[in-house]
Chain A
């Protein structure tokens, strides 16, 4: 087996992007930002798959979403109507064979984690998951053991180097809207040689999404989270009121999810979402290590708990020992209206 010596500064990166309603998802733009730190002279191609007009809109959005995107590849076919792992992995395999990319990057959401390892197996490479920092083109940092340690990994294998990145670690700089100054070319992927072998063995049935008026948990500026201490689904309504007032997203601990207070896509932590908002307020959250793993990078952490010894107070910037059933109403009354 040959050891790839990556002396060439010519990196070329393929970013697997997820789109919805004609827009590239924010996490995928973060993957472009991550691709940017692979090397100085990196040509970045964004790969989109789907079908119909919304795909073309998304492609246009991808072409202008970040100045460093050098081209957008579009795979337009019925097979890609839903982001299933089987056709996607095949597609990545096909595109890689033609493009010979040095890196393939996807965001670490359920989309990337589902597709990238499968594609890596087809390409015979070991992927690296949840990268939070790219030091060199083959040197990465990823959290291990519930974020209690950071592991620096060197990839010594053959190209492509495949990874999923943690999107909150690669924030997208705010750009002036419609910076049409550079729109990268869009080209269609030729699917004539797209092989069918494991495609068609899985079918999309339906998706039940939790449509909320509130901002998305992953990108909210403020997150208010409730734990077991809220005692019931009814009491979560209080938290929702508070969230409304702050313009915040609502999160929950695994305990609250397991008790059935809230649906599980609100779960923050190791097994749920990883968030890093400006303000994180935890009510009735003890602060189990798996939960902390999902919010430790928040800018300001506020904890309200009646147990003064709760571990959450160890990471909180501001802690208040008190009964949340008294504290939340008081906050509702005294907080200034959101800007």
Chain B
């Protein structure tokens, strides 16, 4: 079986980002770029499946400008066998991403496709207040501690961003629709039955849990929770070889560092120097969207980004009596 992993190049999350002086976006010239940490997790997972003898090949895929190849090389240095680069400039919205993924699945027919998905945001409050990165496929959010402490002050209220496919929760459903596969979204538990080629998926829905049975191949999107990951870990190993199942690891925005560690499926390996050298000779195949018969649509444009309305400052009360009094006589709510 072959595993395909999508990886994305983003501004390194340790970098303090600067907004371009014309407010059209983020300075990416001479800024350190690296692989989205969630893609590293996805790739590591693929490599481990291969090492346990369940997969024969790991193919790393990236979509984006020419420089994305550097990130692909990093993936190859970690252990991926070969790379695919879909060259595309400009923002890729979920629809285009879904179309490209569908085309690649049809070309490569992987047994498994894994995406790490999260939106990457890097904020450096003192300098710029709030910064956005172009998001094309998937990224991660790295909150600075200051933000987590709730003391967010916006210095700029408006600047355009190039990305809006954050937290959209769309890519999986769209790929499923295009491929005509069944979908199991917001899954917290997946049990695969190799015999009958079905997946039993427990989904989190409004008001409870819903269980579905899906014919494979299927698209399954996972919700983040430590339980989900251990559930998946137990069940995904050793089951697929003759059919394609697509799993998107969906991590939501705003997962803080501590939670990230909790939620980590694994700890990605470092590329060693010999492997970096070896990676230079590994094959990277180039595709253009045209070659894959995909028309890149950009039918959404970001007009502006503003800060949400502020709540007025509250008061501290010193006793339950005072609290009840305030709720009664000031807020008139009880």
Contacts and interface: CB of A to CB of B under 8 A. Distances in A.
Q: Do A and B bind each other?
A: yes
B300 A143 contact: no
Interface residues of A, number: 97
Contacts of A296: 308, 311
B185 A153 contact: no
B323 A320 contact: yes
B254 A302 contact: no
Interface stretch (B61-69, B91-99, B103-111, B281-289): B91-99
Interface in A144-171: 144-158
A292 B169 CA distance: 20
A331 B321 CA distance: 8
A109 B319 CA distance: 38
A311 B254 CA distance: 15
B27 interface: no
B225 A264 contact: yes
Interface in A59-105: 84-86, 89
A317 B169 CA distance: 33
A139 B211 CA distance: 37
A287 B254 CA distance: 13
B204 A129 contact: no
B253 A146 contact: yes
Interface in B281-320: 295, 297, 299-308, 311-312, 314-320
B88 interface: no
B95 A153 contact: no
B214 interface: yes
Contacts of B164: 142, 144, 151, 153
A300 B254 CA distance: 24
Contacts of A1: 295, 297
B226 A289 contact: no
A176 interface: no
Nearest to B322: A320
Given A118-B174, A208-B208, A290 B252 contact: yes
A327 interface: yes
B326 interface: yes
A126 B254 contact: no
Interface string B193-231: 000000010011111111111110010000111110000
B95 A124 contact: yes
A270 B259 CA distance: 14
B149 interface: yes
A254 to B, nearest CB: 8
Contacts of A209: 207-208
A213 interface: no
A202 B198 CA distance: 9
Contact of A156 (B178, B301, B318): B301
Interface in B131-175: 132, 141, 143, 147-152, 161, 164, 166-171, 173-175
A128 interface: yes
Contacts of B316: 313, 318-321
Given A149-B307, A334-B324, A144 B166 contact: yes
Contacts of A190: none
A224 to B, nearest CB: 12
Nearest to A197: B180
Interface string A256-278: 01100001110000110100001
Contact of A86 (B168, B183, B319): B183
Contacts of A202: 182-184, 212-215, 218
B317 A145 contact: no
A118 B95 contact: no
A249 to B, nearest CB: 12
Contact of B212 (A84, A117, A198, A257): A84
A177 interface: no
Contact of B327 (A127, A204, A318, A338): A318
A314 interface: yes
Contacts of B148: 288-289, 311
B234 interface: no
Interface string B30-72: 0000000000000000000000000000000000000000000
Nearest to A277: B333
B210 to A, nearest CB: 5
- Closest CB pairs A-B (n = 5): A157-B299, A311-B150, A209-B208, A121-B177, A121-B174
Given A152-B306, A158-B299, 9 more contacts: A145-B119, A149-B308, A150-B308, A151-B161, A202-B212, A270-B252, A271-B252, A311-B151, A317-B331
21 contacts: A86-B182, A110-B186, A114-B186, A117-B177, A119-B177, A145-B167, A150-B305, A151-B305, A201-B182, A203-B213, A204-B210, A270-B253, A270-B254, A279-B331, A289-B148, A302-B327, A312-B150, A315-B314, A318-B326, A319-B314, A319-B316
Interface of B: 93-95, 98, 119, 121, 130, 132, 141, 143, 147-152, 161, 164, 166-171, 173-178, 180-186, 188, 200, 203-215, 218, 223-227, 252-256, 262, 295, 297, 299-308, 311-312, 314-321, 323-324, 326-328, 331, 333-334
